Chain A
Amino acid sequence: MSDMVRLVEPLIPALRRYARALLRDPADADDLVQDCLERAVSRWHQRRSDGDTRTWLTAILHNLAVSQMRRRARRGAHMSVEDAPEASLAVAPSQDGALRHRDLMAALDALPDEQRNVLLLVTVEGLSYAEAAQVLAIPTGTVMSRLSRARDRMIRLMDGEGVTVPAKRPLLRRVK
Chain B
Amino acid sequence: MTARPINEDDLHALVDDRLDPARGAEVEAYLACNPDARARVERLRILGRDLRSAFAPVLAEPVPARLNLAHILKARRRPRRPAWQATAAAMLLTLGGLGGWALHGALAPVPAGVDALAQEAGASFAVYAPDRSGRLNSPPATATRSPAGSPPGSRARSRCRI
Contact = CB atoms under 8 A, between A and B. Distances in A.
On whether the two chains bind one another, the answer is: yes
Interface of A: 1, 4-5, 8-9, 12-14, 16-17, 20-21, 30, 33-34, 37-38, 41-42, 100-101, 104-105, 108, 119-120, 122-124, 128-129, 144, 147-148, 151, 154-155, 158-159
A42 B76 contact: yes
- Nearest 8 Cβ contacts at the A-B interface: A17-B58, A123-B48, A13-B59, A20-B58, A17-B55, A123-B51, A21-B55, A5-B69
A37 B72 contact: yes
Interface residues of B, number: 28
B9 interface: yes
B47 A155 contact: yes
Contact of B76 (A20, A41, A148): A41
A73 B36 CA distance: 40
Contacts of A12: 63, 67, 69
16 contacts: A5-B69, A5-B73, A12-B63, A13-B63, A14-B59, A16-B58, A17-B56, A21-B55, A34-B72, A38-B72, A38-B76, A41-B72, A104-B54, A123-B51, A148-B8, A155-B43
A8 B69 contact: yes
Contact of A144 (B12, B52, B61, B66): B12
B58 A101 contact: no
Contacts of A129: 13, 16, 18
Nearest to B58: A17
A60 to B, nearest CB: 14
A16 B63 contact: yes
Contacts of B131: none
Contacts of A122: 16
A147 B16 CA distance: 11
B44 A151 contact: yes
Given A16-B58, A17-B59, A119 B51 contact: yes
Contacts of B64: 30
B107 interface: no
